[in-house]
Amino acid sequence: MSTGNDVWKADATSNIYDYKLIQFRLEHLAEVRDSGDVAELIYLLRSGLLRNLGGIGDPRLFSRSYLGTKSLIEDYLNQVVTQLQYIQRNDFEVLSPQQKVEFFHDTRQSFGNTALLLEGGATFGLFHLGVVKALSEHHLLPRIISGSSVGALIAALVCVHTEQDLPCIFQPGGINLKAFAKKGIKGNITRKITRLLKYGYLMDVKVLEDCVRSNVGDLTFEEAYARSKRVLNITVASTRKYEVPRLLNYLTAPNVLIWSAACASAAVMGLYESVDLLAKDNYGNIVHWSPSAISWSDSSCESDSPEIRLAEQFNVNHFILSQANPYIAPFLSKCPQGQGDSLSDKLFIFLSSEIRHRLHQLAQIGLMPRTLQTLFEQRAQGHITIAPPLSSMDFYQLFSNPTYASLNYWILKGEQSTWPFLSFIRSRTKIELALDKGNQ
C-alpha cells in the first residue's frame, strides 16, 4: 500500500528544485553510458558535477521522509555513482591509467570536500561523541574534522583512531576518565568557586591535560595522520593582543603534540587556565613549540574563522556543524527541513545579526571589548547543523566533570539528534564518497 510519502517521492515535480534539469541529466547520462562513448561520459561528468545541482540539496526536499527524498533525485545520484564506478573498475583504450587518475583527481578537486566541525559546549561538548558515532556507523564520517574548545578534545580523540579502532571508544570504559575520578564529587562546587576567586578560572587544567594525554598519548598531528588518515584540525589563539588564531593540523604544525593543542583550544577564558603548546623536536624530545612568553587559549572568540583556512588548505566547501554552544544550540532547529525556515531560526538569525551590527558599531568607537564583540561573530550554522535538545537540568550540569553515566547520556543524545539528518547527509555526500574511492 502506498503512503502519502511514497506518492510525494514518486512525483518528480516540485518548485523547490529544477526537476526538468535533473531529469535531462539523468536521461543523458544513461544514453551516453549505453552508447559506450567513454570520452563523452567523462566530459559529461566533469561538466556537471555540483553538490547542489538544480537545488537538489535543499533541506525542504527532506521534509516528508527521513528515509530519502524525491525518487528522481535518488535515481540521479545513483546514476552518477554507477558511472563513476564503471570508469573506475574498467580499462578503456581511449583512457590511459594516468588519464583515469587525473580524471578522478581533477573531478574531486572541483567537487570539493566535506568537513565536520565540532563547536565547544563545556559538558555539552560530549554531545559531539554521539554525532561522530552515528555518522561513523553509517559510513558518513568526514575524513576532515575540526574542533574548537571542548570540540577539539573530541576531534583529537576521534582522529587518533583508525576506522577499525574507532568503535572501541564508544564502548563502556572506552574513554579513560580516571583523571577526573581522582577529584571526586565531594566539595566539587566549593573547589570551583575557590579556584575562580583565587586564580580566575573554574576548572583545573592539569586534570584536563592528564585526561586528554591518557586517551590520546604523545602523538603529533603528523603521526596521527599517518596512523588514521584523518585530517585533524584544532583551532587555538594566542593571548597576545594582535596574534591571529591558528589552525593546527599536519600541514601547519606537524610536530605539535595533539593533547597540548586540544587543551590549549579548551582553555576558555574563566573556565581553564591558558596553556603552552608542546612539540617533538628532531630527536623526539618534548619541547615548547613557541616561546614560553606566548600562551594559547580557545579561539572560539576570534573572528578569523577556521572555515576560511579549511577551504584554503583542504578545498573544503561543505560543512557539517555539530553545534553544542549553550548560547546558540537552544535556538537551532533539530531537523533538516526546519533549518533556517522555522520561526525560532528566523528570530535567532535576526537577533544575532542585529547584535553583531550593534557590537560592531560600539567597537568602532572603542566602547566594546573585543572578546564580547567576537563572541557573536562565531559561525552558528553550517550547511548542515546538528544541535542537541537541551533541558534545564542539562544547564545545571554545564560545568560538571564527565562521568561514564554522563558520557552515555550525551552519546545517546548525539546519536538521536543525528539520525534525522542521515538521509540528508548521505544525499549531499554520496558523489563525494564515490570520488574518494576512485582516488584510492
Q: Which residues are catalytic?
A: 149, 298
Helices 150-159 and 205-216 pack at an angle, to 10 degrees, of 20
Q: How many CB atoms lie within 10 A of CB 203?
A: 21
Q: Roughly what angle, to the nearest 10 degrees, separates helices 150-159 and 127-137? A: 30
Q: Which own/partner contact pairs does 286-289 have at CB distance under 8 Å and 24+ positions apart?
A: 286/218, 286/257, 289/253, 289/255, 289/256, 289/260
On whether the CB atoms of residues 281 and 255 are closer than 8 A, the answer is: yes
Question: CA–CA distance from 377 to each of 82, 146, 155, 321, 373 (Å)?
Answer: 42, 18, 22, 15, 7
Cβ-contact 271, 125 below 8 angstroms: no
In 3D, which of 264, 20, 238, 231 has the Cα closest to residue 149? 264
Cβ neighbours for 97, distance < 8 A, ≥ 6 positions apart: 91
Q: How many CB atoms lie within 10 A of CB 34?
A: 8
* CA 157 vs CA 233, 237, 290: distances in Å: 12, 21, 24
Q: Give dist(CA 309, CA 192) in Å, integer.
A: 36
- Please, where are the H alpha helices in 36-177? 38-48, 71-89, 97-111, 127-137, 150-159
Residue 221 · residue 246 · CB < 8 Å = no
